[in-house]
Structure 1
Amino acid sequence: MMILAMLLQSAPLVADPSKIRPAESPGTWVSNADYPPSAQRAGIEGVVGFKLSVDRAGKVTSCTVTASSGSSILDDKTCSLMMERAKFLPGYDAKGRPFGGEYSSRFRWSIMKNAPIIPFVGTVGEPYLFTMRIEVSAEGAITKCETLSPPGIRENTGPCRDILASKPIKPYVDAAGRPVPKVLIIRHELEIRDQ
């Protein structure tokens, strides 16, 4: 089962010194590894709308869920991650003084259904690592997928075959709001344990 977690931007990021803005791409604030295990096991998905209050130093001081996913697990995890990881550049008034503000967005928690099971051979107590590299065009199309590890899995087979067949995603944007291509590295770790 592959998990997709993505931040949905309702408006492009614009470099405007009179407004607060993320210090880095909001897509870096959450990774697939952050999906709450209990929600994943239960197949819970959803979109969480949230609002962040940001002080004049760019630190998030509060997170409010503005539209629930229908799951308190996903809602709570979203705000927890935003409080921990979201960083902002302050806005500046006409006299050059920094100020804070609010930032609103949405976050989608999604489990990719019917993803192929990755074949593996492992030893009890030794982790099995699987790493993929995915190229996304400025338009959001997935243009290339390759398995970096373990060695021996052919390009565009297994999980990559399904990823390449998927619909385009919302394009990533730079600080000026222009769509830009990106490379995604997805790492999965599996550990086999005795019962």
Structure 2
Amino acid sequence: MPGLMLLLAGSVVAATPATPQPWFEFKDYPMQAFEKRWEGVTKFELLIAQDGSIADCKVTESSGHQILDQRTCFLASKRAKFRPARGPQGELAYGVYRSQAVWVFPERQMLNANPGPDLEVSVNKLPEGTLEPPVVKLAYAVDAKGNAGACSLMRSAPKQPSALVEVGCQQLLQRVSHTPVITPTGQAVTAVRTAAVKFNAGN
């Protein structure tokens, strides 16, 4: 586990969408799923290549219906365009972008569930200037063996106090299991991942 100063030394940049969202609309419903009134949330990861193209799509949590999951990856790969990730030295890198598609009929919009944080951390007190909700969205580098390196606040995220960012990075890299990023050809690559850490203040 490298020291915290090393983790924060290089600012990494996550892959970010260059096309507006949403990428999924009600008119995209597969006919079979529409007729059977199937609903669900498909969570997925896109592997963004160094040129910003989509190299792969993986379903990380199924909607419960294969046809909806397949439609999700098809549409995301077809419609989404990205600005590539950059590593701690400013070099182009693979990026992992995570999102979800909510397949729901218009009268049941309550199914639009928030994906929630990747990690929750308890602290005695939140620092002054903390924005609500007390969440830090982080970008961090992983090498071809899955070892985590530099970690920083995502550029598109709200500016939380640096103390929260430091603790968030430290806790994330200590407590979250990291696996290598694999391309469709089976090659393990250096990449930039993202995560959201939520802070809960004590009484």
Give the structure-2-normalised TM-score: 0.46
